Structure 1
Protein backbone atom coordinates (compact mmCIF):
# COMPACT_ATOMS: atom_id res chain seq x y z
CA UNK A 1 0.00 0.00 0.00
CA UNK A 2 1.39 3.41 -1.01
CA UNK A 3 1.47 6.29 1.44
CA UNK A 4 -0.55 9.32 0.57
CA UNK A 5 0.99 12.83 0.78
CA UNK A 6 -0.90 14.69 3.51
CA UNK A 7 1.09 17.91 3.28
CA UNK A 8 -1.38 20.81 3.10
CA UNK A 9 -1.24 22.72 -0.20
CA UNK A 10 0.44 26.11 -0.22
CA UNK A 11 -2.09 28.90 0.01
CA UNK A 12 -2.29 31.66 -2.55
CA UNK A 13 -1.38 35.18 -1.61
CA UNK A 14 1.39 36.61 0.53
CA UNK A 15 3.00 34.39 3.16
CA UNK A 16 1.80 34.71 6.72
CA UNK A 17 4.03 36.83 8.94
CA UNK A 18 6.32 34.92 11.26
CA UNK A 19 5.28 34.98 14.91
CA UNK A 20 6.72 37.88 16.83
CA UNK A 21 7.91 39.63 13.71
CA UNK A 22 6.71 43.00 14.91
CA UNK A 23 5.43 44.23 18.27
CA UNK A 24 2.06 45.99 18.34
CA UNK A 25 2.13 49.76 18.04
CA UNK A 26 0.28 51.98 20.50
CA UNK A 27 -3.16 52.83 19.07
CA UNK A 28 -3.76 56.22 17.53
CA UNK A 29 -6.09 58.67 19.23
CA UNK A 30 -9.54 57.89 17.73
CA UNK A 31 -10.08 61.51 16.62
CA UNK A 32 -6.65 61.64 14.93
CA UNK A 33 -7.31 58.30 13.25
CA UNK A 34 -10.69 59.47 11.94
CA UNK A 35 -9.23 62.71 10.55
CA UNK A 36 -6.31 60.81 8.98
CA UNK A 37 -8.60 58.30 7.27
CA UNK A 38 -10.84 61.12 6.04
CA UNK A 39 -7.83 62.92 4.54
CA UNK A 40 -8.44 65.89 6.83
CA UNK A 41 -5.63 65.60 9.39
CA UNK A 42 -3.62 68.82 9.79
CA UNK A 43 -0.29 66.97 10.32
CA UNK A 44 -0.16 63.42 8.90
CA UNK A 45 3.63 63.39 9.42
CA UNK A 46 2.94 63.31 13.17
CA UNK A 47 1.12 59.97 12.76
CA UNK A 48 2.63 58.21 9.73
CA UNK A 49 6.21 57.16 9.05
CA UNK A 50 8.62 56.36 11.89
CA UNK A 51 8.60 57.76 15.40
CA UNK A 52 10.66 56.77 18.47
CA UNK A 53 8.71 55.05 21.26
CA UNK A 54 9.89 53.23 24.39
CA UNK A 55 11.50 50.01 23.22
CA UNK A 56 11.97 50.92 19.56
CA UNK A 57 10.44 52.81 16.69
CA UNK A 58 6.82 52.74 15.62
CA UNK A 59 6.23 52.50 11.87
CA UNK A 60 2.81 53.46 10.50
CA UNK A 61 1.70 53.40 6.88
CA UNK A 62 -1.61 54.19 5.23
CA UNK A 63 -2.03 51.89 2.23
CA UNK A 64 -5.71 51.53 1.27
CA UNK A 65 -6.63 48.24 -0.45
CA UNK A 66 -3.34 46.57 0.60
CA UNK A 67 -3.47 43.01 1.94
CA UNK A 68 -0.10 43.26 3.70
CA UNK A 69 2.72 45.75 4.25
CA UNK A 70 6.30 44.83 5.08
CA UNK A 71 9.08 47.15 6.18
CA UNK A 72 12.32 46.38 4.32
CA UNK A 73 15.56 47.35 6.09
CA UNK A 74 18.85 46.11 4.64
CA UNK A 75 17.03 43.33 2.79
CA UNK A 76 15.18 42.10 5.89
CA UNK A 77 11.39 42.04 5.70
CA UNK A 78 9.17 42.63 8.74
CA UNK A 79 5.38 42.49 8.49
CA UNK A 80 3.35 45.32 9.95
CA UNK A 81 0.02 44.58 11.63
CA UNK A 82 -3.17 45.63 9.86
CA UNK A 83 -5.08 48.09 12.04
CA UNK A 84 -7.98 48.14 9.57
CA UNK A 85 -9.04 50.69 6.96
CA UNK A 86 -5.69 50.43 5.15
CA UNK A 87 -3.66 51.48 8.19
CA UNK A 88 -0.67 49.27 9.10
CA UNK A 89 1.66 49.63 12.08
CA UNK A 90 4.23 47.96 14.28
CA UNK A 91 7.14 48.58 16.63
CA UNK A 92 10.62 47.61 15.48
CA UNK A 93 13.71 47.55 17.69
CA UNK A 94 15.73 50.75 17.46
CA UNK A 95 19.00 49.97 15.70
CA UNK A 96 22.35 51.56 16.45
CA UNK A 97 22.52 54.81 14.53
CA UNK A 98 18.88 55.75 15.02
CA UNK A 99 16.00 55.40 12.60
CA UNK A 100 17.18 53.44 9.55
CA UNK A 101 16.47 54.01 5.88
CA UNK A 102 13.67 51.71 4.80
CA UNK A 103 11.17 50.96 2.07
CA UNK A 104 7.70 49.44 2.21
CA UNK A 105 6.79 46.27 0.33
CA UNK A 106 3.06 46.61 -0.22
CA UNK A 107 1.06 43.53 -1.25
CA UNK A 108 -2.20 43.95 -3.13
CA UNK A 109 -4.51 41.25 -4.45
CA UNK A 110 -2.58 40.81 -7.70
CA UNK A 111 0.76 42.58 -7.24
CA UNK A 112 3.49 43.71 -4.87
CA UNK A 113 5.18 47.10 -5.01
CA UNK A 114 8.28 48.24 -3.14
CA UNK A 115 7.99 51.96 -2.49
CA UNK A 116 9.69 54.66 -0.47
CA UNK A 117 7.52 55.77 2.42
CA UNK A 118 6.80 59.46 1.72
CA UNK A 119 6.44 60.02 5.48
CA UNK A 120 10.04 58.92 6.03
CA UNK A 121 11.05 62.36 4.76
CA UNK A 122 10.50 65.66 6.57
CA UNK A 123 7.62 67.85 5.41
CA UNK A 124 8.61 70.10 2.51
CA UNK A 125 7.13 73.22 4.12
CA UNK A 126 8.21 74.35 7.56
CA UNK A 127 6.42 76.59 10.03
CA UNK A 128 8.11 79.71 8.62
CA UNK A 129 7.08 78.78 5.07
CA UNK A 130 3.49 78.31 6.20
CA UNK A 131 3.60 81.69 7.96
CA UNK A 132 4.83 83.40 4.79
CA UNK A 133 2.14 81.71 2.70
CA UNK A 134 -0.56 82.85 5.13
CA UNK A 135 0.76 86.43 4.89
CA UNK A 136 0.31 86.38 1.11
Structure 2
Protein backbone atom coordinates (compact mmCIF):
# COMPACT_ATOMS: atom_id res chain seq x y z
CA UNK A 1 0.00 0.00 0.00
CA UNK A 2 1.46 3.32 -1.03
CA UNK A 3 1.77 6.32 1.25
CA UNK A 4 -1.03 8.09 -0.59
CA UNK A 5 -3.36 5.10 -0.17
CA UNK A 6 -2.59 4.94 3.56
CA UNK A 7 -3.25 8.66 3.98
CA UNK A 8 -6.51 8.49 2.05
CA UNK A 9 -7.79 5.47 3.97
CA UNK A 10 -6.93 7.04 7.33
CA UNK A 11 -8.16 10.53 6.51
CA UNK A 12 -11.79 9.98 7.64
CA UNK A 13 -10.62 8.60 11.00
CA UNK A 14 -8.20 11.48 11.52
CA UNK A 15 -10.89 14.01 10.56
CA UNK A 16 -13.33 12.35 12.99
CA UNK A 17 -10.73 12.49 15.77
CA UNK A 18 -10.07 16.18 15.12
CA UNK A 19 -13.81 16.92 15.13
CA UNK A 20 -14.24 15.04 18.43
CA UNK A 21 -11.39 17.05 19.95
CA UNK A 22 -12.91 20.29 18.64
CA UNK A 23 -16.27 19.43 20.21
CA UNK A 24 -14.66 18.64 23.58
CA UNK A 25 -12.64 21.87 23.36
CA UNK A 26 -15.80 23.82 22.59
CA UNK A 27 -17.67 22.29 25.51
CA UNK A 28 -14.96 22.64 28.13
CA UNK A 29 -13.03 25.74 27.10
CA UNK A 30 -15.56 27.87 25.25
CA UNK A 31 -18.28 26.71 27.65
CA UNK A 32 -16.34 28.40 30.45
CA UNK A 33 -16.59 31.81 28.76
CA UNK A 34 -19.20 34.33 30.00
CA UNK A 35 -21.00 34.40 26.63
CA UNK A 36 -21.94 30.73 27.11
CA UNK A 37 -24.26 31.53 30.04
CA UNK A 38 -27.81 31.32 28.71
CA UNK A 39 -26.60 31.07 25.11
CA UNK A 40 -29.42 28.69 24.17
CA UNK A 41 -32.71 29.19 26.04
CA UNK A 42 -34.71 26.41 27.69
CA UNK A 43 -36.09 24.02 26.33
CA UNK A 44 -33.98 24.35 23.18
CA UNK A 45 -30.82 23.74 25.17
CA UNK A 46 -31.81 20.08 25.59
CA UNK A 47 -32.12 19.71 21.82
CA UNK A 48 -28.69 21.31 21.45
CA UNK A 49 -27.24 18.91 24.04
CA UNK A 50 -28.71 15.91 22.23
CA UNK A 51 -27.51 17.10 18.81
CA UNK A 52 -23.95 17.88 19.96
CA UNK A 53 -23.60 14.58 21.79
CA UNK A 54 -25.08 12.60 18.88
CA UNK A 55 -22.37 14.05 16.63
CA UNK A 56 -19.74 13.48 19.33
CA UNK A 57 -20.69 9.81 19.73
CA UNK A 58 -20.67 9.29 15.97
CA UNK A 59 -17.24 10.84 15.46
CA UNK A 60 -15.79 8.94 18.43
CA UNK A 61 -17.07 5.73 16.86
CA UNK A 62 -15.68 6.66 13.45
CA UNK A 63 -12.31 7.69 14.88
CA UNK A 64 -11.98 4.44 16.82
CA UNK A 65 -11.70 2.25 13.74
CA UNK A 66 -13.70 -0.42 15.56
CA UNK A 67 -16.81 -2.13 14.23
CA UNK A 68 -20.04 -3.55 15.57
CA UNK A 69 -20.74 -3.71 19.27
CA UNK A 70 -17.30 -2.50 20.33
CA UNK A 71 -17.63 0.65 18.24
CA UNK A 72 -21.14 1.24 19.62
CA UNK A 73 -19.99 0.76 23.22
CA UNK A 74 -16.95 3.01 22.83
CA UNK A 75 -18.95 5.73 21.07
CA UNK A 76 -21.64 5.73 23.75
CA UNK A 77 -19.17 5.49 26.65
CA UNK A 78 -17.05 8.30 25.23
CA UNK A 79 -20.04 10.60 24.81
CA UNK A 80 -21.29 9.79 28.33
CA UNK A 81 -17.85 10.43 29.80
CA UNK A 82 -17.56 13.81 28.09
CA UNK A 83 -21.13 14.68 29.13
CA UNK A 84 -20.42 13.83 32.77
CA UNK A 85 -17.15 15.76 32.65
CA UNK A 86 -18.93 18.78 31.14
CA UNK A 87 -21.63 18.76 33.83
CA UNK A 88 -19.02 18.36 36.58
CA UNK A 89 -17.04 21.24 35.06
CA UNK A 90 -20.14 23.45 35.11
CA UNK A 91 -20.40 23.04 38.90
CA UNK A 92 -17.39 25.34 39.20
CA UNK A 93 -18.29 27.96 36.59
CA UNK A 94 -20.00 31.21 37.63
CA UNK A 95 -23.45 31.56 36.12
CA UNK A 96 -23.53 27.93 34.97
CA UNK A 97 -25.25 25.04 36.65
CA UNK A 98 -24.92 21.32 36.25
CA UNK A 99 -28.08 19.30 35.84
CA UNK A 100 -29.17 15.72 35.53
CA UNK A 101 -31.59 16.86 32.82
CA UNK A 102 -28.64 18.07 30.74
CA UNK A 103 -26.81 14.81 31.37
CA UNK A 104 -29.91 12.89 30.29
CA UNK A 105 -30.04 14.91 27.06
CA UNK A 106 -26.33 14.18 26.55
CA UNK A 107 -26.97 10.46 27.10
CA UNK A 108 -29.91 10.47 24.69
CA UNK A 109 -27.81 12.21 22.06
CA UNK A 110 -24.92 9.80 22.60
CA UNK A 111 -27.26 6.84 22.27
CA UNK A 112 -28.78 8.32 19.12
CA UNK A 113 -25.40 9.02 17.52
CA UNK A 114 -23.99 5.59 18.39
CA UNK A 115 -27.14 3.88 17.11
CA UNK A 116 -27.18 5.80 13.84
CA UNK A 117 -23.50 5.01 13.32
CA UNK A 118 -24.12 1.30 14.00
CA UNK A 119 -27.05 1.24 11.56
CA UNK A 120 -24.93 3.02 8.95
CA UNK A 121 -22.13 0.50 9.51
CA UNK A 122 -24.51 -2.44 9.07
CA UNK A 123 -25.92 -0.92 5.89
CA UNK A 124 -22.42 -0.41 4.49
CA UNK A 125 -21.44 -3.99 5.32
CA UNK A 126 -24.60 -5.31 3.66
CA UNK A 127 -23.89 -3.30 0.53
CA UNK A 128 -20.28 -4.41 0.42
CA UNK A 129 -21.30 -8.08 0.71
CA UNK A 130 -23.67 -7.90 -2.28
CA UNK A 131 -22.33 -8.83 -5.69
CA UNK A 132 -21.92 -5.85 -7.97
CA UNK A 133 -23.08 -5.97 -11.56
CA UNK A 134 -21.91 -8.94 -13.59
CA UNK A 135 -18.88 -9.68 -11.45
CA UNK A 136 -20.28 -12.94 -10.07
CA UNK A 137 -21.83 -14.22 -13.26
CA UNK A 138 -19.92 -16.90 -15.04
CA UNK A 139 -19.38 -16.46 -18.69
CA UNK A 140 -20.69 -19.11 -20.97
CA UNK A 141 -17.96 -20.85 -22.97
Same fold, judged at TM 0.5 (above): no
Structure ID, larger Rg: 2
Per the shorter chain, which TM-score range?
under 0.3
Judging by fraction of residues, say which structure has more helix: 2
Which of the pair has the greater relative contact order for Cα pairs under 8 Å at 6+ separation? 2
Structure-1-length-normalised TM-score: 0.25
Judging by fraction of residues, say which structure has more strand: 1
